[in-house]
């Protein structure tokens, strides 16, 4: 008898015949050049509108009477450290109010739906900052529209009216009203991207409207809330028209108002650039946090 029969060897299928396998496509030699052409204009805009001013400001902040020195930063620390804390405090308080109101309001608009209310809260998108500052000054001034209306019903005395406009509270109210529209636009879009089946399951389990917002919409829209927070905070740090028109004449002031006074009234470009660098660093901290939590994917 012959030896044991050899099992036939089955050759593997060619790669091209595997289910779902697509043969590699030939690379278009023009694609890299097209990508470069598309990326070049926005890259040039970023370089000229951000990096060049940033480097120029950093260079000028280290010059005093033609010499390299840190005296500008020492002057900022001595004269404006309270203003830096004041700017941070107003920005953080305004940010918490904006995000809190937007989270609840957009939850109502997502679950109940009200197109007219949504339209009203998006109106500030089309109102310039200087118009907001003037309008809030007229509304919140000691003898402004609000106090005059309250005096008509006997709630305040116009001979000694409260002054909301010329205080940190007036700045916060104006910043919240102006930035709420953008927050609503971003958060509502994120809420509407949440699949209705999750909300339906929550309703079947007896979740109230507030619980649906807190336990379903908020956790699933957290990245968009971070984006909105970053945009709002940097916008508030850079506020100029509103603090100038509403803030009081006495310090503390917000940083952009300090930069304006330092340039136009004291002709001190070195200290103004040092103040600008402080604002850059505060904004870059928020931008870095945004990039790390949103755009950088875990390995």
- Asked whether the beta carbons of 170 and 93 are under 8 A apart, the reply is no
At 103, the pLDDT band (50, 70, 90 cuts) reads: very high
Least confident of 3-12, 209-218, 258-267: 3-12
Q: With beta carbons less than 8 A apart as the criterion, state whether 142 and 101 touch.
A: no
Query: What is the pLDDT averaged over residues 210-219?
Result: 91
Note the helical H segments in the chain.
31-46, 52-61, 71-111, 115-122, 129-140, 145-152, 168-192, 196-204, 209-212, 218-220, 222-237, 241-246, 255-264, 269-290
| pLDDT cut 70: percent of the chain above it | 85
The pLDDT score that the predictor gives to residue 175 is: 93
For the ranges 14-23, 32-41, 115-124, 168-177, the lowest mean pLDDT is seen at 14-23
Q: Quick check: 231 pLDDT over 90?
A: no
Lowest mean pLDDT among 2-11, 126-135, 217-226: 2-11
pLDDT at 271: 92
User: Three-state SS across 162-197?
Assistant: CCCCCCHHHHHHHHHHHHHHHHHHHHHHHHHCCCHH
Judged by DSSP in three states, 67 sits in: strand
Which pLDDT belongs to residue 299?
A: 43
Q: Virtual CA dihedral for 248, 253, 255, 259, nearest 10 degrees?
A: 70
- The CA–CA distances, whole Å, from 101 to 31, 107, 170, 188, 229 equal 46, 10, 17, 12, 12
pLDDT value of residue 298: 46
Task: Select the CATH number that applies to the domain covering 45-135+164-295 from these four: 3.40.50.720, 1.20.810.10, 1.10.3720.10, 3.40.50.261.
Answer: 1.10.3720.10
- Distance from C-alpha of 163 to C-alpha of 146, rounded to nearest angstrom: 11
Round to whole Å and give the CA distance between 214 and 169: 28
pLDDT tens for residues 6-54?
A: 545 545 555 445 555 555 555 556 567 777 777 788 788 878 877 888 8
- CA distances (Å), origin 289, targets 30, 47, 208, 227, 292: 36, 21, 33, 10, 5
Q: What tokens were used for 83?
A: 């203003």
pLDDT at position 116: 84
Return the domain boundaries, the chain: 45-135+164-295
Share of the chain above pLDDT 90, in %: 27
pTM more than 0.85: no
Q: Which helix (H) or strand (E) holds 142?
A: none
| pLDDT tens-digit map of 137-161 | 888 888 888 888 888 888 888 888 8
Closest CA to 168 of 107, 236, 66: 236
Higher pLDDT, 294 or 76: 76
**CB contact at 8 A, 102 and 180:** yes
176-189 average pLDDT score? 90
Q: Is the dihedral of CA 127, 130, 133, 134 positive or negative?
A: negative
Mind listing the pLDDT tens digit for each residue in 51-96?
A: 888 888 888 889 888 889 899 999 999 999 999 999 999 999 999 9
**Residue 200: pLDDT over 80:** yes
- The rounded distance, in Å, linking the Cα atoms of 214 and 216 is 6
What is the rounded distance in angstroms from the CA atom of residue 105 to the CA atom of residue 118? Answer: 9
Asked if pLDDT for residue 237 goes beyond 50, the answer is yes
pLDDT at 113 over 90: no
Closest by Cα among 174, 180, 177 to 99? 180
Task: Give the chain's end-to-end CA distance (angstroms, integer).
Answer: 61
């Amino acid at each position: 008898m012959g030896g044991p029969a050899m099992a036939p060897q089955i050759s593997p299928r060619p790669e091209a015949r595997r289910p779902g396998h697509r043969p590699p496509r030939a690379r278009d030699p023009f694609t890299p050049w097209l990508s470069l052409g598309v990326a070049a204009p926005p890259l040039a805009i970023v370089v000229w509108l951000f990096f060049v001013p940033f480097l120029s400001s950093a260079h000028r902040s280290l010059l005093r009477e033609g010499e390299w020195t840190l005296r500008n930063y020492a002057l900022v620390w001595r004269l404006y450290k309270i203003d830096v804390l004041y700017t941070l405090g107003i920005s953080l308080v305004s940010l918490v109010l904006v995000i809190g109101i937007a989270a609840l309001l957009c939850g109502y608009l997502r679950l109940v739906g009200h197109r007219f209310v949504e339209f009203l809260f998006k109106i500030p998108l089309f109102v310039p900052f200087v118009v907001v500052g003037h309008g809030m000054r007229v509304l919140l001034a000691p003898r402004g529209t609000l106090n005059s209306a309250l005096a008509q019903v006997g709630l305040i005395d116009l001979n000694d009216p409260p002054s909301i406009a010329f205080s940190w509270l007036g700045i916060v109210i104006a910043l919240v009203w102006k930035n709420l529209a953008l927050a609503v636009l971003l958060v509502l879009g994120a809420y509407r991207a949440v699949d209705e089946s999750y909300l339906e399951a929550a309703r079947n389990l007896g979740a109230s409207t507030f619980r649906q917002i807190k336990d379903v919409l908020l956790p699933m829209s957290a990245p968009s809330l971070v984006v909105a927070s970053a945009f709002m905070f940097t916008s508030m740090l850079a506020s100029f028209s509103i603090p100038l028109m509403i803030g009081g004449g006495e310090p503390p002031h917000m940083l952009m108002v300090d930069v304006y006074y330092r340039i136009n009234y004291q002709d001190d470009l070195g200290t103004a650039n040092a103040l600008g660098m402080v604002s850059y660093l505060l904004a870059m901290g928020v931008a870095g946090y945004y990039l790390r939590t949103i755009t950088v994917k875990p390995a």
